Amino acid sequence: MLEVCNISFSYKNTEFLEDISFSAQKGQFVGILGPNGSGKSTLIKLLSGYLKYFSGDIKINGLSIQDFSSKERATKIGVLSQESINNINFTSEEVVSLGRYAHQNGFWKYLTEDDYLIIKNSLHATNSYKFKDRYLGELSGGEKQRIFLSQILAQSSDVILLDEPSNHLDLKVQASVLKKIKEYAKLNSKTVVSVFHDVNIASIFCDKIIYLNNGRLIDNGEGNEKISIEKLLKVYEIEFIETIVNGRNLYFPSSFFK
Ligand code: ADP
Ligand code: MG
Protein backbone atom coordinates (compact mmCIF):
# COMPACT_ATOMS: atom_id res chain seq x y z
CA MET A 1 0.00 0.00 0.00
CA LEU A 2 1.17 3.53 -0.87
CA GLU A 3 0.47 6.38 1.55
CA VAL A 4 1.25 9.99 0.77
CA CYS A 5 0.92 12.05 3.96
CA ASN A 6 0.92 15.86 3.84
CA ILE A 7 3.93 16.26 1.57
CA SER A 8 5.12 19.69 0.49
CA PHE A 9 7.84 20.65 -1.97
CA SER A 10 9.13 23.65 -3.86
CA TYR A 11 11.68 24.12 -6.63
CA LYS A 12 12.64 27.59 -5.51
CA ASN A 13 11.58 29.59 -2.46
CA THR A 14 7.85 29.53 -2.91
CA GLU A 15 5.99 26.41 -1.91
CA PHE A 16 4.83 24.57 -4.98
CA LEU A 17 3.24 21.25 -4.05
CA GLU A 18 1.43 21.92 -0.83
CA ASP A 19 0.11 19.47 1.71
CA ILE A 20 -0.60 16.59 -0.68
CA SER A 21 -2.19 13.48 0.84
CA PHE A 22 -3.71 10.43 -0.81
CA SER A 23 -3.39 6.68 -0.67
CA ALA A 24 -3.40 3.78 -3.11
CA GLN A 25 -4.11 0.16 -2.28
CA LYS A 26 -2.41 -2.96 -3.61
CA GLY A 27 -3.86 -3.85 -7.00
CA GLN A 28 -5.27 -0.35 -7.46
CA PHE A 29 -4.73 1.76 -10.59
CA VAL A 30 -4.73 5.44 -9.57
CA GLY A 31 -4.77 8.29 -12.09
CA ILE A 32 -3.39 11.81 -11.72
CA LEU A 33 -5.14 14.49 -13.78
CA GLY A 34 -4.37 18.20 -14.00
CA PRO A 35 -3.45 20.90 -16.51
CA ASN A 36 0.08 21.61 -17.76
CA GLY A 37 2.36 22.79 -14.98
CA SER A 38 0.00 21.67 -12.20
CA GLY A 39 2.69 19.47 -10.62
CA LYS A 40 1.90 15.98 -11.94
CA SER A 41 5.46 15.13 -12.99
CA THR A 42 6.84 16.75 -9.83
CA LEU A 43 4.57 14.49 -7.77
CA ILE A 44 5.75 11.41 -9.71
CA LYS A 45 9.38 12.46 -9.07
CA LEU A 46 8.66 12.80 -5.33
CA LEU A 47 6.94 9.40 -5.26
CA SER A 48 9.91 7.82 -7.03
CA GLY A 49 12.43 9.31 -4.58
CA TYR A 50 14.11 11.30 -7.38
CA LEU A 51 13.15 14.56 -5.62
CA LYS A 52 13.13 14.90 -1.82
CA TYR A 53 10.03 16.30 -0.13
CA PHE A 54 10.47 19.01 2.51
CA SER A 55 7.80 17.86 4.93
CA GLY A 56 5.33 15.02 5.34
CA ASP A 57 6.14 11.47 4.29
CA ILE A 58 5.61 8.88 1.57
CA LYS A 59 5.29 5.28 2.76
CA ILE A 60 5.16 1.96 0.99
CA ASN A 61 3.72 -0.81 3.16
CA GLY A 62 4.29 1.39 6.21
CA LEU A 63 7.96 2.21 5.47
CA SER A 64 9.19 5.68 4.50
CA ILE A 65 10.71 5.72 1.00
CA GLN A 66 13.49 7.97 2.34
CA ASP A 67 14.77 5.06 4.44
CA PHE A 68 15.25 2.68 1.50
CA SER A 69 18.68 2.05 0.02
CA SER A 70 18.78 2.68 -3.73
CA LYS A 71 18.63 -1.07 -4.40
CA GLU A 72 15.67 -1.55 -2.05
CA ARG A 73 13.98 1.39 -3.67
CA ALA A 74 14.34 -0.24 -7.10
CA THR A 75 12.52 -3.35 -5.88
CA LYS A 76 9.73 -1.20 -4.42
CA ILE A 77 9.31 1.56 -7.01
CA GLY A 78 9.46 1.44 -10.82
CA VAL A 79 9.08 4.62 -12.81
CA LEU A 80 8.41 5.50 -16.42
CA SER A 81 9.31 9.18 -16.57
CA GLN A 82 8.47 11.75 -19.22
CA GLU A 83 12.13 12.09 -20.04
CA SER A 84 13.48 8.59 -20.75
CA ILE A 85 17.03 8.09 -21.98
CA ASN A 86 16.54 7.65 -25.65
CA ASN A 87 19.28 6.31 -27.77
CA ILE A 88 21.42 4.14 -25.55
CA ASN A 89 23.33 1.53 -27.47
CA PHE A 90 21.40 -1.46 -26.12
CA THR A 91 19.02 -3.89 -27.72
CA SER A 92 15.42 -3.84 -26.53
CA GLU A 93 15.94 -7.09 -24.64
CA GLU A 94 18.97 -5.63 -22.87
CA VAL A 95 16.99 -2.54 -21.88
CA VAL A 96 14.23 -4.70 -20.41
CA SER A 97 16.80 -6.89 -18.61
CA LEU A 98 18.02 -3.76 -16.74
CA GLY A 99 14.69 -3.99 -14.93
CA ARG A 100 15.93 -7.19 -13.24
CA TYR A 101 19.13 -5.59 -11.92
CA ALA A 102 17.86 -4.85 -8.40
CA HIS A 103 16.74 -8.47 -8.03
CA GLN A 104 20.19 -9.96 -8.70
CA ASN A 105 22.30 -11.04 -5.78
CA GLY A 106 25.96 -11.77 -5.15
CA PHE A 107 29.10 -10.21 -6.52
CA TRP A 108 28.79 -11.67 -10.02
CA LYS A 109 25.42 -10.48 -11.15
CA TYR A 110 23.84 -12.64 -13.79
CA LEU A 111 20.34 -13.28 -15.07
CA THR A 112 18.67 -16.51 -13.95
CA GLU A 113 16.22 -18.59 -15.98
CA ASP A 114 13.42 -16.94 -13.98
CA ASP A 115 14.76 -13.51 -14.96
CA TYR A 116 14.76 -14.50 -18.63
CA LEU A 117 11.19 -15.74 -18.35
CA ILE A 118 10.07 -12.48 -16.71
CA ILE A 119 11.87 -10.45 -19.41
CA LYS A 120 10.19 -12.50 -22.15
CA ASN A 121 6.74 -12.14 -20.55
CA SER A 122 7.26 -8.40 -20.06
CA LEU A 123 8.13 -7.98 -23.75
CA HIS A 124 5.04 -9.99 -24.72
CA ALA A 125 2.84 -7.89 -22.40
CA THR A 126 3.48 -4.78 -24.47
CA ASN A 127 3.48 -6.73 -27.72
CA SER A 128 7.17 -5.91 -28.25
CA TYR A 129 8.79 -9.33 -28.27
CA LYS A 130 9.34 -8.89 -32.00
CA PHE A 131 11.68 -5.93 -31.27
CA LYS A 132 13.86 -7.78 -28.75
CA ASP A 133 17.02 -7.86 -30.87
CA ARG A 134 16.59 -4.36 -32.32
CA TYR A 135 18.63 -1.47 -30.92
CA LEU A 136 16.60 1.11 -29.04
CA GLY A 137 17.84 3.87 -31.35
CA GLU A 138 16.26 2.04 -34.29
CA LEU A 139 12.76 2.09 -32.84
CA SER A 140 9.95 4.63 -33.26
CA GLY A 141 8.79 6.73 -30.28
CA GLY A 142 5.84 4.43 -29.58
CA GLU A 143 7.94 1.26 -29.91
CA LYS A 144 10.52 2.70 -27.48
CA GLN A 145 7.77 3.61 -25.03
CA ARG A 146 6.61 -0.02 -25.09
CA ILE A 147 10.15 -1.23 -24.37
CA PHE A 148 10.39 1.13 -21.36
CA LEU A 149 7.01 -0.12 -20.15
CA SER A 150 8.29 -3.71 -20.48
CA GLN A 151 11.33 -2.73 -18.41
CA ILE A 152 9.04 -1.43 -15.64
CA LEU A 153 7.00 -4.64 -15.72
CA ALA A 154 10.22 -6.72 -15.55
CA GLN A 155 11.27 -4.71 -12.50
CA SER A 156 8.27 -6.25 -10.62
CA SER A 157 8.25 -3.36 -8.12
CA ASP A 158 5.45 -2.98 -5.55
CA VAL A 159 4.61 0.49 -6.89
CA ILE A 160 4.63 1.41 -10.57
CA LEU A 161 4.73 5.10 -11.48
CA LEU A 162 3.88 6.12 -15.02
CA ASP A 163 4.12 9.66 -16.39
CA GLU A 164 1.87 9.83 -19.44
CA PRO A 165 2.41 6.17 -20.43
CA SER A 166 0.21 6.32 -23.49
CA ASN A 167 2.25 9.11 -25.05
CA HIS A 168 3.41 8.10 -28.53
CA LEU A 169 1.16 5.02 -28.54
CA ASP A 170 -1.41 4.58 -31.28
CA LEU A 171 -5.01 3.93 -30.24
CA LYS A 172 -4.89 0.15 -30.61
CA VAL A 173 -1.64 -0.22 -28.67
CA GLN A 174 -2.82 2.30 -26.05
CA ALA A 175 -5.86 0.22 -25.16
CA SER A 176 -4.05 -3.12 -25.13
CA VAL A 177 -1.04 -1.91 -23.12
CA LEU A 178 -3.17 -0.14 -20.50
CA LYS A 179 -5.38 -3.21 -20.15
CA LYS A 180 -2.28 -5.39 -19.70
CA ILE A 181 -0.83 -3.09 -17.03
CA LYS A 182 -4.13 -3.01 -15.19
CA GLU A 183 -4.49 -6.81 -15.31
CA TYR A 184 -0.87 -7.22 -14.22
CA ALA A 185 -1.40 -4.89 -11.23
CA LYS A 186 -4.57 -6.70 -10.10
CA LEU A 187 -3.09 -10.16 -10.52
CA ASN A 188 0.20 -9.34 -8.77
CA SER A 189 -1.14 -6.87 -6.15
CA LYS A 190 0.95 -4.01 -7.52
CA THR A 191 -0.05 -0.37 -7.07
CA VAL A 192 -0.04 1.79 -10.21
CA VAL A 193 -0.04 5.60 -10.11
CA SER A 194 -0.24 7.12 -13.56
CA VAL A 195 -0.45 10.62 -15.03
CA PHE A 196 -2.90 10.99 -17.90
CA HIS A 197 -3.70 13.82 -20.25
CA ASP A 198 -6.85 12.27 -21.61
CA VAL A 199 -9.63 12.48 -19.04
CA ASN A 200 -11.64 9.70 -20.70
CA ILE A 201 -8.73 7.26 -20.77
CA ALA A 202 -8.15 8.03 -17.08
CA SER A 203 -11.80 7.50 -16.29
CA ILE A 204 -11.94 4.19 -18.19
CA PHE A 205 -8.74 2.65 -16.80
CA CYS A 206 -8.35 4.10 -13.31
CA ASP A 207 -9.97 2.75 -10.15
CA LYS A 208 -9.63 6.22 -8.69
CA ILE A 209 -8.41 9.62 -9.84
CA ILE A 210 -6.66 12.40 -7.94
CA TYR A 211 -6.74 15.94 -9.33
CA LEU A 212 -4.09 18.67 -9.20
CA ASN A 213 -4.32 22.35 -10.01
CA ASN A 214 -1.39 24.70 -9.48
CA GLY A 215 0.34 22.43 -6.98
CA ARG A 216 -2.77 21.86 -4.86
CA LEU A 217 -4.75 18.68 -4.52
CA ILE A 218 -8.27 19.50 -5.66
CA ASP A 219 -9.61 15.99 -5.00
CA ASN A 220 -7.97 12.96 -3.39
CA GLY A 221 -10.20 10.44 -5.17
CA GLU A 222 -11.95 9.23 -2.03
CA GLY A 223 -15.45 10.44 -2.99
CA ASN A 224 -18.03 8.30 -4.78
CA GLU A 225 -17.73 10.13 -8.06
CA LYS A 226 -14.53 9.40 -9.99
CA ILE A 227 -15.09 12.16 -12.54
CA SER A 228 -17.67 14.88 -13.19
CA ILE A 229 -18.15 18.10 -15.15
CA GLU A 230 -17.86 20.06 -11.89
CA LYS A 231 -14.51 18.49 -10.97
CA LEU A 232 -13.14 19.02 -14.47
CA LEU A 233 -14.21 22.68 -14.42
CA LYS A 234 -12.44 23.23 -11.10
CA VAL A 235 -9.26 21.51 -12.27
CA TYR A 236 -8.93 22.59 -15.90
CA GLU A 237 -10.88 25.85 -15.52
CA ILE A 238 -12.87 25.18 -18.70
CA GLU A 239 -16.39 23.93 -19.40
CA PHE A 240 -16.84 20.26 -20.32
CA ILE A 241 -19.83 18.49 -21.79
CA GLU A 242 -20.81 14.97 -20.82
CA THR A 243 -22.11 12.30 -23.14
CA ILE A 244 -22.89 8.62 -22.71
CA VAL A 245 -21.38 6.03 -25.03
CA ASN A 246 -21.97 2.30 -24.42
CA GLY A 247 -23.27 3.11 -20.94
CA ARG A 248 -20.12 5.02 -20.05
CA ASN A 249 -19.94 8.76 -19.32
CA LEU A 250 -17.39 10.56 -21.48
CA TYR A 251 -16.22 14.17 -21.19
CA PHE A 252 -15.07 16.68 -23.79
CA PRO A 253 -14.18 20.38 -23.52
CA SER A 254 -17.21 22.26 -24.86
CA SER A 255 -14.84 24.50 -26.85
CA PHE A 256 -14.22 21.48 -29.14
CA PHE A 257 -17.72 21.93 -30.53
CA LYS A 258 -17.81 25.71 -30.91
P1 ADP B 1 3.06 18.89 -15.06
O2 ADP B 1 3.73 17.58 -15.15
O3 ADP B 1 1.76 18.87 -14.30
O4 ADP B 1 2.87 19.53 -16.40
P5 ADP B 1 5.46 19.70 -13.62
O6 ADP B 1 5.36 18.96 -12.35
O7 ADP B 1 6.43 19.22 -14.64
O8 ADP B 1 4.00 19.90 -14.24
O9 ADP B 1 5.85 21.20 -13.28
C10 ADP B 1 5.18 21.93 -12.29
C11 ADP B 1 5.77 23.33 -12.18
O12 ADP B 1 7.10 23.27 -11.70
C13 ADP B 1 5.82 24.06 -13.51
O14 ADP B 1 5.50 25.40 -13.30
C15 ADP B 1 7.26 23.90 -13.94
O16 ADP B 1 7.67 24.98 -14.74
C17 ADP B 1 8.01 23.87 -12.62
N18 ADP B 1 9.22 23.05 -12.69
C19 ADP B 1 9.32 21.78 -13.15
N20 ADP B 1 10.58 21.32 -13.05
C21 ADP B 1 11.30 22.34 -12.50
C22 ADP B 1 12.69 22.50 -12.13
N23 ADP B 1 13.57 21.50 -12.29
N24 ADP B 1 13.06 23.69 -11.59
C25 ADP B 1 12.18 24.70 -11.41
N26 ADP B 1 10.86 24.62 -11.72
C27 ADP B 1 10.43 23.45 -12.27
MG1 MG C 1 4.40 16.42 -16.74
Mean pLDDT by 10 residues, the chain (258 residues): 96 85 97 96 96 95 94 91 74 92 71 93 94 93 91 95 89 90 95 96 96 96 94 97 95 92
**Number of the ligand 1 atom closest to the C-alpha atom of 34:** 3
CB 39 near ligand 1, within 6 Å: yes
CB 99 near ligand 1, within 6 Å: no
Query: Which contacts of 45-49 are long-range, i.e. CB under 8 A and separated by 24 or more positions?
Result: 45/81, 46/7, 46/9, 46/17, 47/2, 47/4, 47/77, 47/79, 47/159, 47/161, 47/193, 48/77, 48/79, 48/81, 48/161, 49/73, 49/77
CB 137 near ligand 1, within 6 Å: no
Mutate to test the pocket of ligand 1, among 42, 53, 214, 218 (most ligand atoms within 8 A of CB): 42
Quote the pLDDT of residue 42.
Answer: 96
CB 41 near ligand 1, within 6 Å: yes
The single-letter DSSP state of residue 250 is E
CB 40 near ligand 1, within 6 Å: yes
| pTM score | 0.94
Q: Are 231 and 221 in contact (CB under 8 A)?
A: no
**Number of the ligand 1 atom closest to the C-alpha atom of 215:** 10
**Tell me: the pLDDT tens digits for 3-28?**
999 999 999 877 789 999 999 999 99
d(CA 191, CA 77): 10
The DSSP secondary structure of 24-76, one letter per residue, reads E-TT-EEEEE--TTSSHHHHHHHHHTSS--SEEEEEETTEEGGGS-HHHHHHH
Which of 75, 92, 14, 43 has its CA nearest to residue 194? 43
β-bridge mates for residue 137, sequence order: none
d(CA 217, CA 92): 37
Quote the pLDDT of residue 150.
Answer: 95
For residue 236, the ligand closest to its alpha carbon is: 1
Residue nearest atom 8 of ligand 1, based on CA coordinates? 37
Q: Are 188 and 156 in contact (CB under 8 A)?
A: yes
Residue nearest atom 14 of ligand 1, based on CA coordinates? 37
Q: Are 205 and 211 in contact (CB under 8 A)?
A: no
Task: Read off the amino acid at residue 137.
Answer: G
For residue 39, the ligand closest to its alpha carbon is: 1
d(CA 210, CA 154): 27
Q: How large a percentage of the chain has pLDDT more than 70?
A: 96
Cα 147 to ligand 1 centre (Å)? 26
Q: What protein residues have CB closer than 5 angstroms to ion ligand 2?
A: 40-41
Q: How large a percentage of the chain has pLDDT more than 90?
A: 77
Quote the pLDDT of residue 86.
Answer: 66
User: Within its chain, how far is the Cα of 104 from the centroid?
Assistant: 24
Residue nearest atom 15 of ligand 1, based on CA coordinates? 37
d(CA 66, CA 72): 11
Residue nearest atom 24 of ligand 1, based on CA coordinates? 11
For residue 35, the ligand closest to its alpha carbon is: 1
Cα 256 to ligand 2 centre (Å)? 23
Q: Are 191 and 59 in contact (CB under 8 A)?
A: no
What CATH fold (topology level) applies to the domain 2-257?
Answer: Rossmann fold (3.40.50)
CB 42 near ligand 1, within 6 Å: yes
**Residue 148, H or E segment:** helix 141-155
Quote the pLDDT of residue 84.
Answer: 66
